[in-house]
Structure 1
Amino acid sequence: MTDTGIDAQQGETRQTDMMDPARAQALLATLGRPAPVHMGDALPPFFHQIYFWQSLPPASLGRDGHPAKGDGLIPDLSLPRRMWAGGRLEFHAPLHAGIAAEKRTRVANVTRKEGRSGPLGFVTLQHDIMQDGHLTTREYQDLVYRNDPEPDAPTPTPPQARQDETLSETAAFDSTMLFRYSALTFNGHRIHYDEAYARDVEGYDGLVTHGPLLAQLLMLLADRQLGGLGRFSFRASSPLMHHETAELCWRKDGTLWIRAADGRQIMSAMAERAIP
């Protein structure tokens, strides 16, 4: 169960959630790593993404399935396309399944700039996740808003990914996985499940693999390699389609990236070990 409220004086939303163990177990299954999750178990880093749903009726949604812009904390920048560009996270303590937690969200920054493809809006949200009165996770979420692509606009050339990883893991995606992740995060963005919309309106070559899903996989990889994750930052470089495979890459210095089969860079990241 999730309860949501807006503190108008503080410019902050607050949501509570009981952190249902079954939901975390469902995400592990979706990721192809099925494992039981019991009351009180520590949750993997970034699993708070599947909690604190913003449950709105259809009339409160925009054309893309997201909450309508200008409704709530995020101002309407008059730019229709929304993308999760990256973020930074601090993990102070693990969240535990089955114990009530609170998420406090505020707008940390809003800017508008002119890019090569037209106006861009940048919004940074700060999320503080509290449990038993203590801060467990602080997340800065970077969102980008832009206009629809022109039909004859050239496709931007994505950067090429590094080839000097210490180790890599292959990850595959399909429409079922994207649908299940959308359901678990209560993410209504149509680019992840409505292929006609993704192609015809937003100009993609297929369904778009969620940026947070890709970041989640990199965080789990870093957590295994470091023996505990203290800080993590990531930046999206290029969209990955649902029909593509990718390599999750790691170096011993804590750098990570995702490389598509054609060599382009999808995401870059940096991880730091938790301080004992």
Structure 2
Amino acid sequence: MQHTETHSDPLDPARAAAGLITLGRAETVAQGGPLPLFFHHLYFWSPQPPEALGRDGHPRVGQGGLIPDMGLPRRMWAGGRLTFHQPLLAGQDAERRSVLEVSNTKQGRSGPLGFVTLRHDYHQGGRICVTEWQDLVYREDPAPGVPPPVPLVARTDETERRIVRFDSTLLFRYSALTFNGHRIHYDLDYAREVEGYAGLVVHGPLLAQLLMLFAQDLCGPVVRFSFRATAPLTHTETAELCLKDQALWVRGPDGRQCMEAQFRAISQA
């Protein structure tokens, strides 16, 4: 029998309002009105005391939660898939039920890799509103002197494009809104010296959030969305959100692909 974790949240409209301001969006959220797409990530916090955290600021794995300890210190959000059945409503109690669907290790070209897939079902008023799968990857620290993998080159055949910029303030505010303690997003020394990144790392869910809203702005309400992170983007870089048909991607300033995604809108169903 699968172990299940359940969290409830009253979905305070003020937090959604802060999220919209952080993203530079002009919409408002009213009591009882629909939350913006993907904004459930701002809720269902599960705070842990300092002694229960790992070196990276995330809750330590293998301590009775859903994710086992695989002995691999670096955590990355590799991608996810979502089905939006109906909107979650602000200011009304909701529940998230979570299960571990996948947990295994494989030998990659750069060493052992741990793969985890979590499924989250979001319920409100006795009905399911969102189904989400989160794919996480765990790996070893980078070996000294070993260059990072060569990233994929992004497509250049988009029909729509939006320029987005990041800075340390945006990353800090998004971390605070989602209660994400991962130090790669706000601790520059840790990101560079321990995990080997060139700068603060833009959250994978933040890039996915921007792609979803980009698709929604152009095509109307989104009912399905899947994404895969392919290369890190750092806080000093300007990126491009790109769309063609039902495909989306994030292109870095050097032309690398940072994320790819697929979506379906109601108008395309």
TM-score, normalising length: structure 1: 0.95
- What residue is the counterpart of 1:262 in the other structure? 254
Offset at residue 36 of structure 1 (A): 2.6
In the alignment of these two chains, the number of paired residues is 267
Q: What does residue range 1-276 of structure 1 map to in structure 2 within 5 Å?
A: 10-71=2-63, 72-251=65-244, 253-274=245-266
Structure 1: how far apart are the matches of 2:266 and 2:80? 18
Letter in 2 for 1:215: A
User: Structure 2, unaligned stretches of length 5 or more?
Assistant: none
User: Structure 1, unaligned stretches of length 5 or more?
Assistant: 1-8
Offset at residue 10 of structure 1 (A): 4.5
Name the Cα RMSD after superposition: 1.1
Offset at residue 79 of structure 1 (A): 0.2
| CA offsets 1:171-201 (integer angstroms, 9 cap, x no match) | 0000000000000000000000000000000
Structure 1: how far apart are the matches of 2:107 and 2:37? 35
Extract structure 1 runs of 4+ deviating beyond 4 A. none
Structure 2: how far apart are the matches of 1:226 and 1:43? 18
Structure 2: how far apart are the matches of 1:271 and 1:211? 16
* C-alpha contact 2:2 2:100 (8 A) present in aligned 1: no
Offset at residue 225 of structure 1 (A): 2.1
Structure 2: how far apart are the matches of 1:132 and 1:93? 11
- What residue is the counterpart of 1:3 in the other structure? none
* C-alpha contact 1:25 1:34 (8 A) present in aligned 2: no
Structure 1: how far apart are the matches of 2:76 and 2:217? 28
* C-alpha contact 2:232 2:258 (8 A) present in aligned 1: yes
